[in-house]
Amino acid sequence: MAHVRKAVIPAAGLGTRFLPATKVVPKEMLPIVDRPAIQYVIEEAVAAGIEDFLIITAPSKKALEDHFDRSFELEALLESRSKDAALDEVRRISELAKFHFTRQGAPLGLGHAIGMARNYVGDESFAVLLPDDILVDQGALLSQMISQHAETGSVIVAAGHYPLEEVVSYGVIDPGEIKGDVINVNSIVEKPPIAEAASNYGLAPGRYVFPSSIFDAIDATKPGVGGEIQITDAIASMISGVGVQATLNRNDRYDAGQKLDWLRATVEIALDHDELGPGFRDVLAQIIAKHDVTPAQSTP
Ligand code: G1P
């Protein structure tokens, strides 16, 4: 079974949950500690063996293209000033993989965005990573999903166990047989009403491994929740064919498109940072001592 070397990153969303920061800056470019959020997702995929990316963007998101391109002026300046470490870091970004970009002309849904990758993908199996979801697992989950796909040829989605009020913001799975981290999927519904949620298993983090036959399924998918072409509906239509399995994510996942979770990501990733971690630990201890850091009665 083919090795998965291509990934599609749908990054056309407007980031309205993070306004006003995202009025001009794409939400994927908001920094978490010292790099933009999307760079974590790219590095995760590269660690899982991905070599080539198609990033689906929108007008006003040119910064994404610039970030992964060479920057000759900046590199020449850093070189002339002997800023070697900064130069290596800047060059490393464009050397992580091959990057291609296309624009989703209109916001017609996640399924539609992924459908735009048909010609890029050809007849290979490929991965999709939603850039709001940040994992710091060195590609462990995606590698596991790619192996599972290689064994079965099925569609592989990532899933997590969430409180009922939360799971209904995701695609929700009706699980069949569960063996370790592998869940057989009997049915899957995008953002069901609470009373209709089949389980607490939600499709998050947004990680998928697809055979190329997903494109025919997307083409046959009618608009669903929100009047958009939903990838979840296209996946549901493949259950009776190649089959759908979920891989359970057991690591932390941050929703970087949401203010509170972005703060959590920033603090935790900073604490684990090789260079900044020790100093930040002291700063954080001082902040906690200075403020009355006890949980609020109710979280907003
Ligand atoms: C999308 C998908 C949903 C998935 C979620 C994960 O929803 O449609 O199935 O569970 O991402 O983050 P969105 O968050 O774009 O509304």
- Concatenated DSSP letters of 177-194: EEETTEEEEEEEEES--G
The DSSP call for residue 227 is: G
Query: 212-245, pLDDT tens digit by residue?
Result: 999 999 999 999 999 999 999 999 999 999 999 9
CB atoms within 10 A of CB 263: 12
Q: Which residue's CA lies nearest to atom 11 of ligand 1?
A: 206
Whether a cis peptide bond, with omega within 30° of 0, leads into 193 is no
Residue 300 pLDDT exceeds 70? no
Mean of per-residue pLDDT scores for the chain: 95
Helix (H) and strand (E) counts in the chain = 12, 14
Enumerate domains of the chain plus CATH numbers.
6-257 (3.90.550.10), 259-300 (no CATH)
Q: In angstroms, rounded to a whole number, what is the distance separating the alpha carbons of residues 125 and 238?
A: 15
Structure tokens at 224: 């669903």
Whether a cis peptide bond, with omega within 30° of 0, leads into 205 is yes
Task: Specify the pLDDT at position 67.
Answer: 95
Report the run of H or E that residue 299 belongs to, with start and end: none
> What percent of the chain lies above the pLDDT cut of 90?
92
> What percent of the chain lies above the pLDDT cut of 70?
98
Task: Specify the pLDDT at position 14.
Answer: 85
Residue 205 pLDDT exceeds 90? yes
Determine the residue of 14, 16, 201, 203 to mutate for testing ligand 1's pocket, defined as the one with the most ligand atoms within 8 A of the Cβ atom.
203
pLDDT band at 2 (very low <50, low <70, confident <90, very high): low
Residue 292 pLDDT exceeds 90? no
Nearest CA-CA partner of 127 in 83, 157, 160, 86: 157
Query: 173-203, pLDDT tens digit by residue?
Result: 999 999 999 999 999 999 999 999 999 999 9
The pTM is what?
A: 0.95
Residue 6 pLDDT exceeds 60? yes
pLDDT band at 15 (very low <50, low <70, confident <90, very high): confident
**For residues 205 and 158, is the Cβ–Cβ distance under 8 A?**
yes
Query: 105-159, pLDDT tens digit by residue?
Result: 888 999 999 999 999 999 999 999 999 999 999 999 999 999 999 999 999 999 9
Structure tokens at 131: 């850039």
Ligand 1 nearest-atom number relative to CA 133? 12
Burial (CB < 10 A; 0-12, 13-18, 19+), residue 75, is middle
Q: In angstroms, rounded to a whole number, what is the distance separating the alpha carbons of residues 32 and 51?
A: 23
How many A from CA of 231 to the centre of ligand 1? Answer: 9
Query: 86-115, pLDDT tens digit by residue?
Result: 999 999 999 999 999 999 988 899 999 999
C-alpha to C-alpha distances, 17 to 185, 207, 210, nearest whole angstrom: 30, 21, 28
How many A from CA of 151 to the centre of ligand 1? Answer: 26
Task: Specify the pLDDT at position 82.
Answer: 95
Cβ < 6 Å from ligand 1: which residues? 110, 130, 133, 170-171, 190, 202-204, 206, 230, 232
